[in-house]
Amino acid sequence: DISMVVHFDTHDNVSDSENASPQKLLVQERWKKAAKLVNEAAVASRKVSLENKIGTKGDELDDDDPLRVIALSVQRSLRDFGKSAKNTDGKRFRGKRNRGREGKLVTKDTLEYLADEGETTFTVPQPQNECERILDEEFKRIRTAFGVTDESISSFFFLTPDQRYILKQCTANDVHSIRNILTRYRAHIESSCRNNGEDEEKTISTSLLPRLFGLYSLRFADPSIPDVVLLAQANFFAAAHKIHKKFDLKGSTHNRFASERECKKDSPVFKDLDWVEQGHRLRFPSKKEMDDVRDQLQRDTEFLSSCDLIDYSLLVGVHEMDKSMLDCYEKNSEPFRVVYTRSCGERIICYFGIVDVLTPYGTEKALETLLTGTLMCCRDVSCQAPDIYHHRFMQFCNDQILDYDESSTDSLSASLFHAMGPSDERQQGADSSRTDKLEPNVIEADGVDQHDPSFAECRSSDCN
């Protein structure tokens, strides 16, 4: 939040700079430099803006809510999977500060937990359960391509409030789609790797597809607690600055306005025709940088088309810069590798990425295209065959989304390939001091606004 930044006003002390003594002018100049350094430090040390955070804390859920149990069970499992990289002899893992947090690695990819008996450090009763990581060899290579370590992914969920990652509850259809595309997805992500500018030997994928980091199956002995499959992925909106507007852009023009009811919400999600009407653009500081993004979007959507996937969107979050404090934006202030561009002309920061990529174009979708589009005067409905969907999406990106402004020399201009945030290795030290916290933020599917893009990857079938 910009309000965190400190101001030092020295003008009240010197009514007329021209008449001030050299000593006072020197003091004034030093205060200005100090103020700028403090402002930069305050911005650079930020984490996700509080106003962008989502979910419900675990202790705010009802005592009998199964999500309380699932939250802590997943937390324990992911932490122990992180430790298992250095321990494969089947021993139990035991936390140093929380006795009783232990699991047994029964296979390379399966942890088993017994029910809590007697005294326990947990405020939530822990039943007998088993957690399995699915297709982890493929996901491990994907994590490496995005610069994510096993240690960092093992400690994110319900453990630290930074919200870098999201766990999505998967349907059977989601799991089926992931299994079908995972090997090709991994190869595509690895083919998109490039030097990240920090280490010549280290490359980071620049793909704009959802960053999928792991698939976990959680099974409980108690039949009253539902079994779940959870997909770990990055949060595109883990931004340091407040996101003022959100857009879900598919490239379709038929009825793609936010409804009146949607616009009345605290955090409405606007759509394609709203974007055009409001005149926004993802404006880059050079044609080359714009072309880099266009080429990546082209490769990503060609991949989705080759997998017969549709209904994906370009999710865009817009932060409107505080014009009175532009100095605070000069340096990269993003704590994580969120993808963004800063527009010097419009004074906005746009965070963006492709979401909702697990919908296959099968018989039901082909019938939907026929009934709502082809038989209705061929109107431009969202649901189209994969190749048509891909070409329409890219046409909309070229005509209405991507732009550049080489005439500006403003130092505020920046884009994703040149400012992708600090590596996990640097951030991990800051997170490690908080690994004992048991204050989960639960992303609850039921009762959540289905059009809120903060949940776009959690409710992929609802963002139509």
pLDDT of residue 87: 53
At residue 116 the predicted structure's pLDDT band, cuts being 50, 70 and 90, is confident
d(CA 325, CA 323): 5
Q: Tell me the one-letter amino acid at 42.
A: A
d(CA 144, CA 358): 22
Residue 90 · residue 106 · CB < 8 Å:
yes
Least confident of 56-70, 108-122, 403-417, 440-454: 440-454
Interacting residues of 186 by C-beta distance below 8 A, sequence separation 6+:
138, 139, 141, 142, 145
Q: Give the residue from 414, 146, 407, 184 showing the smallest Cα distance to 299.
A: 184
Q: Is 197 or 141 the better-scoring residue by pLDDT?
A: 141
d(CA 42, CA 9): 17
160, 212, 176, 444: CA torsion to nearest 10 = 30
Q: Tell me the one-letter amino acid at 84.
A: S
Q: Is 431 or 276 the better-scoring residue by pLDDT?
A: 276
Residue-wise pLDDT for 262-309, tens only, equals 998 888 899 999 999 999 999 988 899 999 999 999 999 999 999 999
Residue 44 · residue 329 · CB < 8 Å:
no
Q: Is 189 or 98 the better-scoring residue by pLDDT?
A: 189
pLDDT of residue 313: 96
Ramachandran angles phi, psi of 410, nearest 5°: -65, 130
d(CA 193, CA 417): 11
Angle at 235 between CA 362 and CA 80, to 5 degrees: 100
Average pLDDT, the chain: 74
Q: Give the residue from 308, 353, 354 showing the smallest Cα distance to 181.
A: 308
**Lookup: tokens for 384:** 């189209």
pLDDT of residue 26: 82
Interacting residues of 183 by C-beta distance below 8 A, sequence separation 6+:
138
Q: What is the rounded average pLDDT of the residues 410-416?
A: 56
Q: Which range among 11-20, 228-237, 453-462 has the greatest average pLDDT?
A: 228-237
